[in-house]
């Protein structure tokens, strides 16, 4: 059963129809997850806020299935293999995560194990076992896998052998193309889409001075797209970046690159908007305008890494430990629900149905978010995702559902 994402179907008619497969209220804090113990007190606060706000929509043991509300992929980023919080583990947390995935999502993105250093650890060595196992799990459950990512500048994800490669320009180009073609070719026919190049621009719109730019010039981007298309003619090829939904200099540089690719027939199918955004930034108008600009060029728009923290360390009001949101209150939960709803609604308003590449949330439960360490230096908790630390759906979950079903964002 597929429902139009703009259907006026009332959520109340769905809430009694889809059992949440036992994941709600039963997960608890798993001793197998290293973040669980430190997050236990905030988990209780988060759960209390969610439960209070959810009672008007559903019981604590039932929830609608998100992916059935959309005719495009509804995805989630996951840890896999032997990573902390891996969905492949047969502990309490792993079982709870798989129940959530199988109930609510029809696409996965590997948070790490399909990045460069994982798949290509040595020049003559490729390692596909962990990614293949995740893909096998997805296939067995009727879930697709958005592949992430063929080329990324981040130092810890560029393999050491590549950093130290001493060949001349021709040797570098041959090595680079072989990297892209081998990986994309391995998964050809099994994945519907790739983040081909990730984060190639600085905030001011200049090209990032990455290793690839240093060795190959900015043509490394189009080379990656051409090589990926050669290896997999069917997969949708995305350029993926953060801070491009606000219409600033980085967005304009990306659009200029896209226009150049289109003019020269460089293969590109879409733009991935990571959407690591805040409660008050960017504006919904800016988000809609950015989405629309890509869609107007006939390219797909994919929300690839959505999360919305409550705290904003770049805000003038944030001053840890003197001034920050330390408790996830009902009021904050309701505001976050509206923000998720507004973003989903903006996506559906700005992007025609045939150009909607999908929407992926960057993680399952709050305690596993990358933002705690990357954005807040492990100083305090935050609550950016759709499920709390006990694997219960938060008001934000219902905000996504409201957006998908054309309900008012309240």
- φ, ψ (nearest 5 deg) of residue 175: -65, -45
Separation between Cα atoms, residue 158 and residue 201, nearest integer Å: 17
pLDDT band at 175 (very low <50, low <70, confident <90, very high): very high
User: Is residue 325 a contact partner of residue 312, using CB atoms and an 8 Å limit?
Assistant: no
325 as an active site residue: the answer is: no
Residue keyed to tokens 């060595």: 125
pLDDT in tens, 330-357: 999 999 999 999 999 999 999 999 999 9
| Annotated catalytic residue, options 92, 181, 222, 305 | 305
Tell me the chain's radius of gyration from C-alpha atoms. Answer: 21
Return d(Cα 114, Cα 141) in angstroms, integer.
20
Report the topology of domain 11-404.
Answer: TIM Barrel (3.20.20)
Q: Which two tokens stand for residue 25?
A: 């209220």
> Taking CA 7 as the corner, what is the angle to CA 343 and CA 403, rounded to the nearest 5 degrees?
15
Over residues 28-42, the mean pLDDT reads 30
Residue 178: active-site member = no
Distance, in Å, from the CA atom of 244 to the CA atom of 242, rounded to the nearest integer, reads 6
pLDDT digits (tens, 9 = 90+) for 226-279: 999 999 999 999 999 999 999 999 999 999 999 999 999 999 999 999 999 999
Q: Are 12 and 55 in contact (CB under 8 A)?
A: no
pLDDT at 17: 33
In whole angstroms, give the CA distance from residue 289 to residue 270: 16
Provide the whole-model pTM.
Answer: 0.87
143 token code pair: 């879930």
DSSP state string for 39-105: THHHHHHHHHHHHHHHTTT--TTB---GGGG-SS-EEEEEB-TTSTTBTT--SHHHHHHHHHHHHH-
Catalytic residue among 199, 222, 325, 381: 199
Domain boundary assignment for the chain = 11-404
């Amino acid at each position: 059963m597929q429902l139009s994402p703009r259907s006026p179907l009332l959520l109340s008619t769905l809430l009694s129809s889809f059992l949440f497969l036992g994941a709600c209220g039963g997960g608890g804090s798993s001793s197998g997850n290293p973040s669980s113990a430190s997050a236990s007190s905030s988990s209780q606060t988060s759960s209390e806020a969610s439960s209070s706000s959810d009672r008007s929509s559903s019981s604590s043991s039932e929830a609608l299935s998100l992916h059935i509300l959309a005719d495009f992929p509804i995805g989630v980023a996951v840890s896999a293999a032997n990573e902390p919080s891996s969905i492949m583990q047969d502990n309490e947390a792993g079982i709870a995560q798989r129940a959530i995935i199988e109930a609510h999502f029809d696409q996965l993105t590997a948070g790490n194990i399909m990045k460069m250093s994982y798949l290509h650890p040595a020049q003559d060595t490729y390692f596909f076992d962990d990614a293949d196992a995740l893909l096998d799990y997805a296939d067995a459950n009727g879930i697709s896998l958005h592949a992430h990512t063929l080329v990324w500048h981040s130092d810890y994800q560029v393999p050491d052998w590549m950093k130290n490669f001493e060949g001349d320009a021709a040797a570098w180009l041959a090595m680079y193309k072989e990297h892209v073609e081998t990986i994309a070719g391995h998964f050809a026919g099994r994945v519907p889409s790739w983040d081909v190049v990730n984060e190639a621009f600085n905030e001011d719109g200049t090209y990032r001075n990455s290793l690839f730019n240093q060795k190959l010039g900015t043509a490394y981007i189009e080379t990656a797209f051409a090589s990926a298309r050669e290896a997999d003619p069917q997969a949708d090829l995305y350029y993926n970046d953060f801070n491009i939904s606000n219409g600033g200099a980085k967005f304009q540089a990306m659009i200029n690159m896209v226009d150049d690719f289109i003019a020269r027939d460089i293969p590109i199918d879409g733009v991935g908007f990571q959407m690591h955004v805040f409660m008050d930034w960017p504006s919904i108008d800016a988000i809609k305008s950015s989405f629309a600009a890509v869609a107007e060029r006939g390219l797909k728009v994919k929300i690839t890494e959505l999360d919305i923290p409550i705290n904003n360390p770049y805000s003038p009001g944030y001053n840890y430990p003197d001034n920050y949101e330390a408790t996830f209150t009902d009021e904050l939960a309701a505001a976050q629900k509206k923000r998720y709803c507004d973003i989903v609604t903006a996506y559906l308003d700005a992007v025609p149905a045939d150009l909607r590449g999908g929407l992926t949330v960057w993680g399952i439960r709050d305690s596993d978010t990358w933002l705690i360490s990357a954005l807040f230096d492990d100083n305090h908790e935050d609550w950016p995702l759709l499920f709390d630390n006990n694997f219960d759906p938060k008001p934000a979950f219902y905000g996504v559902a409201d957006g998908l079903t054309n309900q008012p964002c309240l």
